[in-house]
Structure 1
Amino acid sequence: MMLTQGDLLKANILIVDDQLTNVQLLEQLLSEAGYKNLTSTLNPTEVCALHRQHQYDLILLDLQMPAMDGFQVMEALKTNIIDGYLPVIVLTAQPAHKVRALQAGAKDFISKPFDLIEVKTRINNMLEVRLLYKKLEDYSKLLEAKVAERTAELRESEARFRSLTELASDWYWEQDETGRFTKVSGPVLDMLGIRVDSLDGSAHNTDDDGWDAAERAQLHAAIEARQPFIDFAFSRTYTDGSQQHYRVSGEPMFDQSCRFIGYRGIGVECKQMVYSNAAINNTASC
């Protein structure tokens, strides 16, 4: 985030002094140094309105003026500026006023009578800080906008994914690291004989009878190994001899630090057993 000399010379500068000779001297000095956007006023009561309209990068402000002195102008500017930064260098012939001016919010001071080298140096240094501050603020706003845009895209993508999985399956499910259901879409709970008080993970089986123990053990082993599984087939036999067949696919979920946080997947109810449990993927990685 670098600044060029051209950036400095394009800065908007306001000169405020009730003495015309001082204004003319500063205008001449800054013009000769290459500054292109100079505005001046002899009336301190105009400063707030001018700054609200033009948002100056630097205000050169005399402290001793009639009607409204420099300290009063700075207090008024504090209620007027948008970004909270007071871009003021005070002009004063009173050394005792320097500390008070800095305490009032001025960023620097230039002594009267003017020393040309001092004027150029302090203005240049002040503008470097001011313009870098503005660039950083603009960059932060741009970054916030990009984050908001990306977040919206991710939410839309997630919604689209879930919509597609629901269309392609009987149910979509998520479980936490303990195996409890956290999200369920579709009739899986009724079909598997599972009841939940809520989707916060409090779940229990009301009836374990009829499940094929070998299939359940194989699925449990895959989950314990944090392996994905594709079209895993399992079944349930009821007391009247009827059977229900299912196939389910799932993948482990990990957070950014590669900590296991659960599983998510899809499932369908089948009329016939047509898939093999050899489809379990034997590799898994974070």
Structure 2
Amino acid sequence: MMITESEILGASILIVDDQESNVSLLEQVLREAGYTGVASTMNPQEVCALHRKNRYDLILLDLQMPAMDGFQVIEGLKTNAADSYLPVLVITAQPGHKLRALQVGAKDFISKPFDLVEVKTRIHNMLEVRLLYKKLENYSKVLEQTVQDRTAELRESEARYRSLTELASDWYWEQDENMNFTKVSGPVLEMLGIRVASLAEEASDAQLPNPVGGWNETERQLLQATIAARQPFLDFLFSRVNADGSQQTFRVSGEPMFNRSCRFIGYRGVGVEQAAKK
């Protein structure tokens, strides 16, 4: 995983210093180096609100300022930071302040008076680390979401076949949004005499149940109305009279399926033959 030079130069930077001459110098140095996302403030009390709004990749923070010094600013940033990485590079002329700043959460320091080569080098290096940290963090979120999606798919598959087992069905079936069969298991073809689009040529009559001879029309219409209304059904009984005069009764359960966008994508269910009568 790499950070490109264009990503570094496009990073967002906030300069915080109560001395206008220092702000102007740092802005000039950064813009001449090619940085395009540079902002500044001379009021340390604005820093926390600005960072909450803009989520800067780097804050150049002077430690000695009136009203609110840099250490207080760092403590304020720590209370509202969205992540665990505090992107602060402190500016100080006091050697004793460097260690203290690092201890309270700053990531690096720039000494006054400025050595411009040092300034540009430390800023570049810190931005590279910061952007790499953000990229890794985003990658971790994507990976976590992928794991959650795959887990949800696995649970759905397990539930599908668990329902099949619990109901001790003779067959399991699935239909798409056009009510064509896409999956069947068990002796459903022989029992119902239906044609399944995914197993044979497409047929407009691939519905459940297929309107072949002998079906109870009232029961069939009631089941089709339930399916058209996208309603689940449990242990629905329907029957047909065969050519030899025998009667078959079937018990079917089904439920509508929806994708993550709540769009209807078909039905799935199970069925069992009750008994044969003469």
Give deviations 1:195-242, integer Å, cap 9, x for gaps. xxxxxxxxxxxxxxxxxxxxxxxxxxxxxxxxxxxxxxxxxxxxxxxx
Counterpart position of 1:128: 128
Q: Which residue of 1 aligns with 2:103?
A: 103
Counterpart of 1:32? Answer: 32
Deviation at 1:169, TM superposition (A): 3.7
Query: 1:75 Cα shift?
Result: 0.7
Using the TM superposition, give the Cα deviation of residue 104 of structure 1 relative to its aligned residue in structure 2, in angstroms: 1.3
Structure 2: segments with no counterpart, 5+ residues: 171-271
Partner of 1:20: 20
Equivalent residue for 1:61? 61
CA distance in structure 2 between the aligned counterparts of 1:74 and 1:84, rounded to whole angstroms: 13
Correspondence 1:93 to 2:93: yes
TM norm structure 2: 0.60
CA distance in 1, matches of 2:97, 2:162: 67
Partner of 1:149: 149
Alignment of 1:68-217 (within 5 A): 68-166=68-166, 169=169
Deviation at 1:121, TM superposition (A): 0.6
Q: Provide the secondary structure at the position in 2 that maps to 1:79.
A: helix
Equivalent AA in structure 2 for residue 43 of structure 1: N
- The one-letter amino acid of 1:66's match is P
1:71 and 1:166 map into 2 onto residues whose CA distance is 65
Say which SS state the counterpart of residue 84 (structure 2) adopts: coil
Return 91-100 or 64-73, whichever deviates more.
91-100
Q: Structure 1, unaligned stretches of length 5 or more?
A: 171-267, 272-286
SS of corresponding position for 1:38: strand
Cα shift at 1:160: 1.4
The aligned residue for residue 47 of structure 2 is 47
**Displacement after TM superposition at 1:85 (Å):** 1.4
Counterpart secondary structure, 2:85: coil
Identity %: 76
Q: 1:54 is matched by which residue type in structure 2?
A: N
Q: TM (normalized to structure 1)? A: 0.58
For the aligned residues, what is the CA RMSD? Answer: 2.0
- Give me the whole-angstrom Cα distance separating, in 1, the residues matched to 2:65 and 2:5: 33
Q: Match of 2:94, SS?
A: coil
